[in-house]
């Protein structure tokens, strides 16, 4: 089957921004997951709840909050605009919406796999003279890496499926902010069902691949 | 070294205040006595409410002076019960994990990696994954890893507890070799008497977080207070002996006690090292007031009772027969033989009752 230029454009745009969003949240997600799994600090449960909120809140509500934060009339939005960063109604808005919506999935998955790393190994590494940084990168991360990869895949697929927050923050502008999900909605609205079905097929294949890989990784981690 | 610490635990308070200076110090006590907690505290892996820890003249912790060195800077080698090898690294990378710490130290030659691997006989395992190691191999690798970090003190937490009995007997000599070969003092946590008697010069007996006795193992572990805490089969004597010769046909080897007296032990081909350790259970020694004749037993040693203690319905008798032997008999036997301190006696021991380590 030969895909039209438009289909390619939509698919590649979604994949590119989804990938960028995943790469963007990865270091923050890993750091936060480690803080959740290994440290005790005041208001930890409150922060945990806030991080998980986008998972249960209607995505449109999250999108509205983001619009209020990043819109040009907000202090932050204005500050960014003066420095040449406009978030709303362009690809950066898509990126932010995807990042915020997929962040909780990443943090949860990574946190669980950090929790499964035996803290005794980290302690023994410390007695052998390893700095906290060495322990983290040579012991903790390698032992949790499958959970981290699985979490990243999950976050990536969630980013690709993002709709509600994206449409509020970035709009649905063909060629500029239109992702797979937004395009499917658009085609159905316009009665272009065949085009919608092609995109539908792509999303199903991608989703299947990601979830399958992520589950496989988590299964083999349990065994090891 | 100085060890003073107070750590509140779930059911009791670990409260230890002791100074000791031995090559191998055993911390002996039943499970749940706070032994691992103590090692964790020394290693800096656990908070101490009040106390002071000093190793080799260096203060590692002091609640008064607000000193609390992190584990990285305490320079101790910790071998935990389960070995705790890094499962994602090869044996080689496990072993060199801590070796960068003191690579400048001058004794690098005696503690070279080759030498340590040779002593522990693990050179052939270097390229294996740690997941493929047997329990005994894993413990030796964990030991090598700790030694090669060139610590000023080794902390061993029941390194043999997870192994089955046959394997324990095999690993014990390695620990003795490590003790003799490398000048690293050790603190050895265990609830096994044989391990204490075989390896340690000094023993701290701990129960419910308190020090109940301390001293040289041979005396301390056979004191009346200790005996109640020791399983029957573990009350025994361990002697270091010098190998003389072997007679395979007769099934026995001749060894010399430090006093010069010779005894027969089960056959052993001429060992590489001249000295070995033998052990004999306190229940496996007979006492006679006259030299018996016509017995199959290979060893009849003249001696004198130097101390006697009655524990419930049993008697612990210390007999000087070149070495001090601890013998356990019933209280009734003491009465029948009219034993008392100073009595001249003969110790009768079957060759096969001795075990070689």
Residue in B closest to A118 by C-alpha: B84
B44 close contact with A: CB closer than 8 A: yes
Convert B66-105 to b/e letters by CB count within 10 Å (16 or more is b).
Answer: eeeeebbebbbbbbbbbbbbbebbebeebbbbbbebbeee
pLDDT per residue as tens digits for the range B289-308: 999 999 999 999 999 998 88
- pLDDT < 50 regions, chain A: 224
Convert A44-59 to b/e letters by CB count within 10 Å (16 or more is b).
Answer: eeeebeebeebbeeeb
B243 in the same domain as B159: no
What is d(CA B209, CA A34) in angstroms, rounded to the nearest whole number? 34
Q: How many CB pairs under 8 A join A and B?
A: 53
B97 close contact with A: CB closer than 8 A: yes
B273 in the same domain as B315: yes
Return the percentage of chain B with pLDDT > 90, whole number. Answer: 37
Alpha helices in B121-271 (DSSP H): 135-148, 165-181, 193-199, 217-220, 224-227
Cβ distance A127 to B44 less than 8 Å, yes or no, reads yes
Q: What is the pLDDT of residue A36?
A: 95
A142 close contact with B: CB closer than 8 A: yes
User: Would you say residue B33 has pLDDT above 70?
Assistant: yes
In the structure encoding, which two tokens stand for residue B41, read together?
A: 């505290």
Phi, psi of B245 (to 5 degrees): -160, 175
Mean pLDDT of B308-315: 85
Return the percentage of chain A with pLDDT > 70, whole number. Answer: 98
B151 in the same domain as B272: no
Instruction: Give B98's contacts in chain A (Cβ within 8 Å).
Output: 127-130
Cβ distance A130 to B98 less than 8 Å, yes or no, reads yes
CB B196 within 8 A of CB B186: no
Phi, psi of A175 (to 5 degrees): 80, -10
pLDDT per residue as tens digits for the range B139-193: 999 999 999 998 999 999 988 887 777 777 778 888 888 888 888 899 999 988 8
Locate the DSSP E strands across B69-142: 76-79
Cβ distance B70 to A127 less than 8 Å, yes or no, reads no
What is d(CA B45, CA A108) in angstroms, rounded to the nearest whole number? 27
B241 in the same domain as B225: no
pTM (two decimals)? 0.78
B259 in the same domain as B225: no
Residue B290 domain boundaries: 237-356
B172 in the same domain as B39: yes
B101 in the same domain as B41: yes
In this prediction the ipTM stands at 0.79
What is d(CA A93, CA A21) in angstroms, rounded to the nearest whole number? 11
**Tally of structural domains, chain B:** 2
B200 in the same domain as B95: yes
Last residue of a domain, one of B176, B209, B229: B229
In the structure encoding, which two tokens stand for residue A109, read together?
A: 């998955």
Most confident of A213-222, B304-313, B328-337: B328-337
Cβ distance A139 to B86 less than 8 Å, yes or no, reads yes
In the structure encoding, which two tokens stand for residue B273, read together?
A: 């090292």
Q: What is the pLDDT of residue B103?
A: 60
B87 close contact with A: CB closer than 8 A: yes
DSSP tally for chain B: helices H, then strands E:
9, 21
Q: What is the DSSP letter of B129?
A: B
pLDDT-wise least confident of B1-10, B137-146, B319-328: B1-10
B247 in the same domain as B118: no
Alpha helices in A83-130 (DSSP H): 91-115, 119-127
> Using H for helix, E for strand and C for coil, what is the string for A24-93?
HHHHHHHHHHHHHHHCCCCCHHHHHHHHHHHHHCCHHHHHHHHHHHHCCCCHHHHHHHHCCCCCCCCHHH
CATH number at residue B350: 2.40.50.100
Cβ distance B72 to A123 less than 8 Å, yes or no, reads no
Last residue of a domain, one of B229, B256, B286: B229
B220 in the same domain as B243: no
Cβ distance B100 to A129 less than 8 Å, yes or no, reads yes
For each of the domains in chain A, give its residue range(s) and CATH number, in order of start. Answer: 5-57+102-165+175-223 (1.10.3720.10)
CB B56 within 8 A of CB B219: no
B196 in the same domain as B279: no
Residue in B closest to A130 by C-alpha: B72
Q: What is the pLDDT of residue B16?
A: 87
Q: What is the pLDDT of residue B198?
A: 86
Banded model confidence at residue B195, pLDDT cuts 50, 70, 90: confident
A120 close contact with B: CB closer than 8 A: yes
Maximum distance among all Cα pairs of chain B, rounded to whole angstroms: 70
Instruction: Give B70's contacts in chain A (Cβ within 8 Å).
Output: 126
């Amino acid at each position: 089957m030969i895909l039209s230029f438009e289909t390619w454009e939509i698919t590649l745009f979604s994949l590119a921004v989804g990938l960028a969003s995943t790469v963007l949240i990865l270091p923050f997600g890993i750091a936060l997951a480690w803080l959740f799994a290994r440290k005790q600090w005041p208001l930890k449960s409150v922060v945990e709840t806030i991080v998980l909120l986008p998972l249960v809140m209607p995505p449109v509500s999250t999108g509205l909050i983001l619009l209020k934060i990043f819109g040009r009339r907000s202090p932050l939005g204005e500050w960014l605009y003066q420095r040449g960063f406009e978030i709303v109604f362009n690809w950066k808005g898509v990126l932010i919406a995807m990042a915020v919506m997929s962040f909780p999935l990443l943090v949860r998955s990574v946190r669980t796999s950090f929790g499964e790393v035996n803290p005794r190994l980290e302690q023994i590494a410390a007695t052998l003279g390893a700095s906290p940084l060495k322990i983290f990168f040579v012991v903790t991360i390698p032992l949790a890496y499958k959970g981290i990869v699985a979490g990243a895949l999950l976050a990536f697929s969630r980013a690709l499926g993002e709709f509600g927050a994206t449409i509020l923050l970035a709009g649905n502008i063909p060629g500029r902010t239109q992702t797979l999900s937004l395009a499917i909605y658009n085609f159905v609205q316009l009665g272009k069902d065949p085009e919608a079905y092609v995109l539908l097929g792509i999303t199903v294949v991608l989703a299947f691949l990601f979830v399958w890989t992520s589950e496989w990784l988590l299964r083999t981690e349990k065994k090891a | 070294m100085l060890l003073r610490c107070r750590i509140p635990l779930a059911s009791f308070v670990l409260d230890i205040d002791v100074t000791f200076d031995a090559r191998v110090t055993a911390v002996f006590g039943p499970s749940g006595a706070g032994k691992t907690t103590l090692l964790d505290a020394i290693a800096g892996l656990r908070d101490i409410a009040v106390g002071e820890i000093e190793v080799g003249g260096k203060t590692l912790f002091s609640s008064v002076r607000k000193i609390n060195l992190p584990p990285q800077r305490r320079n101790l080698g910790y071998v935990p019960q389960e070995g705790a090898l890094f499962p994602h690294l090869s044996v080689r990378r496990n072993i060199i994990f801590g070796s960068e710490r003191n690579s400048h130290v001058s004794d690098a030659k005696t503690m070279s990696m080759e030498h340590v691997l040779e002593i522990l006989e693990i050179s052939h395992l270097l390229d294996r994954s740690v997941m493929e190691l047997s329990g005994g191999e894993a413990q030796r690798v964990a030991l090598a890893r700790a030694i090669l970090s060139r610590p000023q003190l080794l902390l061993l937490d029941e390194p043999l507890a997870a192994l089955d009995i046959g394997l324990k007997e095999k690993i014990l000599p390695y620990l003795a070799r490590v003790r003799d070969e490398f000048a690293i003092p050790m603190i050895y946590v265990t609830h096994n008497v044989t391990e204490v008697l075989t390896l340690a010069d000094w023993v701290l007996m701990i129960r419910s977080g308190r020090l109940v006795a301390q001293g040289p193992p041979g005396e301390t572990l056979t004191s009346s207070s200790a005996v109640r805490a020791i399983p029957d089969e573990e009350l025994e004597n361990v002697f270091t002996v010098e190998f003389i010769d072997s007679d395979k046909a007769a099934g026995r080897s001749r060894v010399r006690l430090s006093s010069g007296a010779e005894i027969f032990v089960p056959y052993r081909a001429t060992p590489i090292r001249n000295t070995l350790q033998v052990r004999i259970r306190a229940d496996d020694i007979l006492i006679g007031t006259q030299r018996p004749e016509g017995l199959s037993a290979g060893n009849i040693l003249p001696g004198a009772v130097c101390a006697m203690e009655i524990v419930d319905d049993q008697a612990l008798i210390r007999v000087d027969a070149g070495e001090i032997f601890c013998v356990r008999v019933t209280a009734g036997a003491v009465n029948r033989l009219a034993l008392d301190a100073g009595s001249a006696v003969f110790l009768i021991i079957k060759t096969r009752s001795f075990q070689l380590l």
